[in-house]
């Protein structure tokens, strides 16, 4: 009895800890609930890049992180996924189309020199590129007030640029951005200060254009071209609607399951209901503590696990009822109910966990959310159904004062023999029922 | 109350056959007729493509739908596929329906999405883009492969676990049971695809796997009881009697567990989010049929095999 009381207080502590966690910790909600975009970017191989290396992916991730941060939205996530993919999560951006175009854009700045080929002037790469920059700035031309992009080279770049301009005195030097000619000023003298300026040619830059170029240059060029291969965007209205509906569905589901248990199994059913509420609290607290991001499919997994969580209790109570019908004493019946049902509970939950593990490793992100919540739910439910229910049953029926058959939903004439809480030896609870 | 299930075992096998047949026919028909050659109508998760969903503040008639389709086609959108998702507007909140427009994959930089949004703005008063889902064509194939791998791995994992815990023939019966359930769910969705354009997505596969897990779960409880009863009564009773007793002993539990799970699923279906409706429906169908199969299908299979074993032994003597 003493051990049982200790366990009881341990359960009370767990409940308090769960409630505190639920109140203190924020719930991490998935983008499908709060609204936002999830993009999958895949690095593309080209003629020159035959294989995507982990190094390339790291610098791609770095460049993309920089760009995503420039969007000015909080709580963005950029994660590696597999060998050549990045998952980008952006909560609620006002113009996603623009953001998308911006993310995948290569920012190749390169300086070219003129060559004559078949009487035509062409531009040839010089090896001086955006990689040689230390930073880019937006400013205005003091003479005509047009927007320009100021470039500052790093040490290596300054030297290269000085050499190049020395070589090209009296000739034009072209600045290409993403393969497009931006301007081709004529070099009057060698520039050794490590600074240059891009004007937008004769018409000049529009503000947005110049700003974008500066951002892209500062964020760094993508080391490999990348394409968006998957997109999932949910507007905030639909997300809020989903949350509200899931709450209603969860409450109704839980309510009816509890009602069913109480009506069908009576006293043990009520105990199972309490265990179920504790289960819900523990699971929710666990989601917040780990934290597991709740998605719509995840919530479905959570609510589904409520239905499945009572399964263990149903198995146990059915068994207990059978034992009572066969004439076992109350205490023996409860104990053997738990002992006998355990293998069934364990085996059957194992298969659910196996499928969840497989889903988790093979599935896409939505599927992963579902698998994870269901698996955690199943594991916690085994604890709640076995430990918590058993403890409460022992504390309540162990006194021997409550023993009316109606408490178990049985009629008095269904009981074969004695119906007393006299047998307390656990070993004796292990006898078969039909022997 | 005691059901004599074993006595009518061939009747139950026949019922299973009748349950499965229409679905199988639909799947064969779909495989032949659909351009994707799949037994069910597949969504963009597997074919690649883009789905744009617009919430509108009015209910949409079918005439309006074909109007919009024509305008989209004239606007240069190839083969748009339109569907109305009605929302049960609870408190008269703004959105009444969602119009889902599916097109080929819209890559970044393409103006197709803007075109569609412009057309929607003309056709409806302030529609709201509530959801965009886009899957590249190569990724679709990959997801499809992954789903098949996941399904096969789940089957293998369950067979391995069951063989480890039970005898192989029990494991085989449980596997046949879950194939039975998976086939039934796929069949129903194949029919729904033909009649109501219901498409399967990555979530459908998770639903299928959950159903498989649950169905095995049910079967295990029955078999576990058979295993236990065999220990005590194999000398006093025939196998059929033990099987019958075991089924009856676990009947209340099987039905009640499915009932509580179905209660939560129905709550999700009727009151839950719009986007997970089909997913929940697949699980409702699967869990209902899973309960049937573990009580009536798997158990009778094992019983028939045991009978065969006994008569083979008798013949040998």
- Total count of residues recorded for chain B: 317
**Amino acid A256: pLDDT:** 93
Identify the three-state secondary structure at position A139.
strand
Taking only the tens place, the pLDDT of each residue in B138-156 is 888 888 888 888 888 888 8
* Nearest-Cα residue of chain A relative to residue B53: A234
Q: List strands edge to edge, sheet with B97-103.
A: A77-81, A85-90, A36-43, A226-234, B128-135, B49-56, B97-103, B81-86
Query: How far, in whole angstroms, is CA B172 from its chain's centroid?
Result: 21
Place B56 in a pLDDT band, splitting at 50, 70 and 90.
confident
Interface contact A232, partner B, CB < 8 A: yes
Residue labelled with tokens 């997970």: B276
Chain B positions in Cβ-Cβ contact with residue A232 (cut-off 8 Å): 131-134
Instruction: Output Rg (C-alpha) for chain A, integer angstroms.
Output: 34
- Report the C-alpha gap between A151 and A134 in whole angstroms: 8
- The C-alpha of A351 sits at a distance from chain B's nearest C-alpha, in angstroms, of 6
Query: Where among B102, B135, B168 does a domain terminate?
Result: B135
- Report the C-alpha gap between A211 and A217 in whole angstroms: 10
Q: Is residue B303 part of a domain?
A: yes
User: Residues A67, A219: contact at Cβ < 8 Å?
Assistant: yes
Interface contact A351, partner B, CB < 8 A: yes
Query: Where among B135, B160, B178 does a domain terminate?
Result: B135
Interface predicted TM-score (ipTM) over 0.95:
no
Are both B58 and B143 inside the same structural domain?
no
Q: Which CATH class is domain A2-31+236-430?
A: mainly alpha
Residue labelled with tokens 């393409």: B110
Number of H helices, E strands in chain A: 11, 11
Of residues A171 and B24, which shows the higher confidence score? B24
B105-109, B179-183, B302-306: which has the minimum mean pLDDT?
B105-109
Residue in B161, B224, B280 nearest the CB of A350: B161
Structural domain boundaries, residue B217 = 6-40+139-316
Are both B86 and B152 inside the same structural domain?
no
- Report the C-alpha gap between B102 and A242 in whole angstroms: 22
- Total count of residues recorded for chain A: 435
Interface contact B247, partner A, CB < 8 A: no
Half-sphere exposure of A100 (CA within 13 A, CB side): 26
Identify the three-state secondary structure at position A172.
strand
**Amino acid B1: pLDDT:** 55
**Amino acid B219: pLDDT:** 87
> For the purposes of burial, counting CB atoms within 10 Å of the CB of A4, is it exposed (0-12), middle (13-18) or buried (19 or more)?
middle
Interface contact B293, partner A, CB < 8 A: no
User: Residues A63, A219: contact at Cβ < 8 Å?
Assistant: yes
**Amino acid B20: pLDDT:** 94
Interface contact A264, partner B, CB < 8 A: yes
**Amino acid A171: pLDDT:** 83
Chain B positions in Cβ-Cβ contact with residue A367 (cut-off 8 Å): 202-203, 205-206
Model confidence, pTM: 0.80
Query: What CATH code would you report for A32-105+226-233?
Result: 3.30.70.3400
CB contact under 8 A, A235 and B128: yes
**Amino acid B117: pLDDT:** 87
CATH number at residue B124: 3.30.70.3400
| A233-261: b (≥16 Cβ within 10 Å) or e | bbbebbbebbbebbebbbebbbebbbebb
Query: Where among B81, B104, B135 does a domain terminate?
Result: B135
Identify the three-state secondary structure at position B220.
helix
Q: What is the mean pLDDT of each run of 10 residues along chain A (435 residues)?
A: 85 94 89 84 83 84 80 80 86 70 70 80 80 80 80 84 84 78 77 78 74 73 79 82 86 92 89 91 91 84 81 86 79 82 82 84 77 88 85 81 71 54 41 34
Q: CATH 3.30.1360.200 occupies which residues in chain A?
A: 109-217
CATH number at residue B221: 1.20.1640.10
Q: Can you list the pairs that A401-406 forms with residues at least 24 positions away whose Cβ atoms lie under 8 Å? A: A402/A267, A403/A330, A405/A324, A406/A266
**Amino acid A9: pLDDT:** 93
* pLDDT surpassing 80 at residue B18: yes
Interface contact A94, partner B, CB < 8 A: no
User: Residues B150, B205: contact at Cβ < 8 Å?
Assistant: yes
**Amino acid A424: pLDDT:** 42
User: Residues B129, B92: contact at Cβ < 8 Å?
Assistant: no
Chain A positions in Cβ-Cβ contact with residue B209 (cut-off 8 Å): 355, 358-359
**Amino acid B91: pLDDT:** 46
- The C-alpha of B89 sits at a distance from chain A's nearest C-alpha, in angstroms, of 10
Residue in B95, B212, B265 nearest the CB of A304: B265
User: Residues B134, A231: contact at Cβ < 8 Å?
Assistant: yes
**Amino acid B23: pLDDT:** 94
Are both B91 and B118 inside the same structural domain?
yes
- The C-alpha of B123 sits at a distance from chain A's nearest C-alpha, in angstroms, of 20
Q: Which two tokens stand for residue A285?
A: 């607290």
- The C-alpha of A128 sits at a distance from chain B's nearest C-alpha, in angstroms, of 28
Are both B33 and B60 inside the same structural domain?
no
Nearest Cα to Cα of residue B215 among B245, B249, B185, B252 = B185
- C-alpha distances in Å from residue A118, one per residue of A121, A126, A173, B171: 8, 20, 20, 79
Nearest Cα to Cα of residue A197 among A148, A154, A161 = A148
Place B89 in a pLDDT band, splitting at 50, 70 and 90.
low
Q: Which two tokens stand for residue B191?
A: 């029919």
Domain A109-217 = CATH 3.90.1150.10: no
Return all residues near B110 (Cβ < 8 A) that are at least 6 apart. Answer: none
- Report the C-alpha gap between A38 and B204 in whole angstroms: 20
**Amino acid A416: pLDDT:** 53
Interface contact A339, partner B, CB < 8 A: no
Are both B155 and B251 inside the same structural domain?
yes
3-state secondary structure B24-67: HHHHHHHHHHCCCCCCCCECHHHHCEEEEEEEECCCCCHHHHHH
CB contact under 8 A, A363 and B146: yes
Paired strand residues for A172: A186
DSSP H or E stretch at residue B81:
strand B81-86
Are both B172 and B288 inside the same structural domain?
yes
Identify the three-state secondary structure at position A362.
helix
Please count the structural domains in chain B: 2
DSSP H or E stretch at residue B146:
helix B137-165
**Amino acid A428: pLDDT:** 42
Are both B216 and B96 inside the same structural domain?
no
Backbone φ and ψ for A297, nearest 5 degrees, come out as -65, -35
**Amino acid A422: pLDDT:** 40
Which residues 62-101 of B have a C-beta within 8 angstroms of A? 87, 93-95
Q: CATH 1.20.1640.10 occupies which residues in chain A?
A: 2-31+236-430
User: Residues A241, A384: contact at Cβ < 8 Å?
Assistant: no
Q: Is residue B1 part of a domain?
A: no
DSSP E strand boundaries for A141-282: 147-153, 174-177, 180-183, 195-199, 226-234
CB contact under 8 A, A296 and B276: yes
- C-alpha distances in Å from residue A411, one per residue of A314, A327, A376, A400: 19, 13, 38, 19
> For the purposes of burial, counting CB atoms within 10 Å of the CB of A138, is it exposed (0-12), middle (13-18) or buried (19 or more)?
middle
User: Residues A269, A262: contact at Cβ < 8 Å?
Assistant: yes
Residue labelled with tokens 């086609």: B73
Mean pLDDT rounded to a whole number for chain B: 86
Chain B positions in Cβ-Cβ contact with residue A369 (cut-off 8 Å): none
Q: Is residue B26 part of a domain?
A: yes
């Amino acid at each position: 009895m003493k051990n049982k009381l200790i366990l009881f207080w341990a359960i009370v502590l767990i409940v308090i800890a769960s409630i505190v966690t639920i109140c203190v910790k924020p719930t991490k909600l998935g983008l499908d609930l709060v609204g936002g975009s999830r993009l999958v970017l895949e690095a593309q191989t080209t003629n020159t890049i035959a294989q995507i290396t982990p190094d390339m992916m790291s610098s791609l991730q770095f460049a993309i992180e920089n760009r995503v941060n420039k969007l000015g939205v909080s709580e963005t996530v950029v994660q590696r996924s597999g060998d050549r993919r990045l998952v980008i999560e952006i909560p609620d951006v006002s113009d996603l189309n623009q953001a998308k175009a911006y993310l995948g854009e290569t920012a190749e700045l390169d300086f070219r020199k003129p060559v004559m080929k078949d009487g035509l002037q062409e531009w040839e790469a010089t090896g001086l590129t955006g990689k040689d920059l230390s930073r880019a700035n937006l400013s205005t031309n003091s003479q005509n007030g047009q927007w320009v992009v100021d470039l500052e080279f790093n040490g290596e770049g300054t030297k290269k640029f000085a050499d190049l301009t020395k070589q090209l005195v009296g000739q034009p030097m072209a600045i290409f951005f993403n393969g497009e000619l931006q301007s081709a000023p004529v070099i009057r003298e060698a520039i050794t200060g490590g600074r240059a300026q891009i004007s937008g040619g004769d018409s000049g830059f529009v503000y947005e254009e110049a700003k974008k170029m500066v951002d892209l240059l500062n964020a760094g060029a993508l080391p490999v071209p990348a394409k968006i291969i998957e997109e999932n965007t949910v507007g905030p209205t639909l997300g809020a609607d989903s949350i509200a509906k899931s709450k209603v569905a969860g409450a109704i589901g839980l309510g009816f399951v509890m009602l069913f248990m109480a009506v069908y199994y009576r006293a043990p059913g009520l105990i199972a209901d309490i265990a179920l509420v504790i289960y819900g609290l523990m699971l929710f607290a666990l989601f917040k503590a780990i934290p597991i991001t709740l998605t719509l499919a995840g919530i479905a997994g959570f609510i589904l696990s409520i239905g499945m969580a009572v399964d263990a209790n149903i198995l146990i109570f059915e068994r207990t009822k059978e034992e009572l019908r066969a004439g076992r004493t109350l205490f023996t019946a409860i104990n053997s109910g738990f002992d006998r049902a355990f293998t069934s509970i364990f085996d059957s939950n194992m298969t659910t966990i196996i499928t969840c593990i497989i889903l988790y490793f093979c599935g896409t992100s939505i599927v992963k959310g579902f698998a994870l919540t269901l698996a955690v739910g199943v594991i916690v439910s085994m604890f709640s159904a076995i430990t918590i229910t058993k403890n409460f049953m022992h504390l309540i029926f162990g006194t021997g004062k409550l023993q009316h058959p109606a408490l178990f939903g049985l009629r008095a004439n269904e009981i074969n023999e004695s119906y007393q809480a006299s047998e307390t030896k656990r070993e004796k609870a292990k006898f078969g029922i039909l022997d | 109350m005691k059901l004599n299930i074993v006595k009518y075992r061939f009747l139950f096998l026949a019922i299973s056959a009748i349950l499965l047949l229409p679905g199988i026919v639909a799947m064969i028909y779909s495989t032949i007729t659909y351009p994707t050659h799949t037994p069910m109508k597949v969504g963009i998760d597997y074919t690649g493509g883009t789905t744009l969903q617009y919430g509108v503040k009015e209910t949409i008639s079918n005439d309006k739908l074909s109007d919009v389709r024509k305008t989209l086609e004239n606007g240069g959108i190839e083969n748009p596929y339109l569907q109305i998702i009605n929302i049960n507007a609870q408190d008269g909140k703004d959105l009444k329906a969602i119009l889902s427009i599916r097109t080929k994959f819209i890559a970044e930089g393409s103006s197709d999405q803007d075109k569609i949004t412009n057309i929607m703005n003309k056709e409806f008063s302030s529609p709201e883009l509530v959801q965009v889902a886009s899957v590249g064509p190569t990724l679709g194939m990959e997801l499809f492969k992954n789903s098949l791998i996941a399904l096969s791995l789940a089957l293998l994992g369950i067979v391995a676990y069951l063989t480890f815990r039970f005898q192989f023939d029990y494991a085989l019966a449980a596997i046949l049971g879950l194939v039975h359930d998976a086939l039934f769910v796929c069949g129903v969705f194949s029919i729904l695809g033909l009649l109501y354009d219901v498409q399967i997505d990555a979530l459908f596969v998770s639903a299928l796997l959950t159903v498989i897990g649950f169905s095995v779960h049910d079967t295990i409880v029955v078999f576990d009881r058979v295993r236990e009863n065999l220990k005590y009564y194999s000398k006093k009773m025939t196998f059929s009697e033990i099987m019958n007793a075991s089924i009856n002993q676990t009947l209340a539990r099987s039905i009640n567990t499915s009932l509580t799970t179905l209660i939560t699923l129905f709550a999700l279906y009727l009151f839950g989010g719009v986007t997970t409706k089909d997913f929940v429906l697949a699980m409702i169908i699967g869990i209902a049929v899973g309960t049937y199969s573990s009580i009536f299908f798997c158990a009778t299979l094992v019983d028939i095999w045991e009978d065969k074993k006994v008569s083979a032994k008798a013949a040998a003597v």
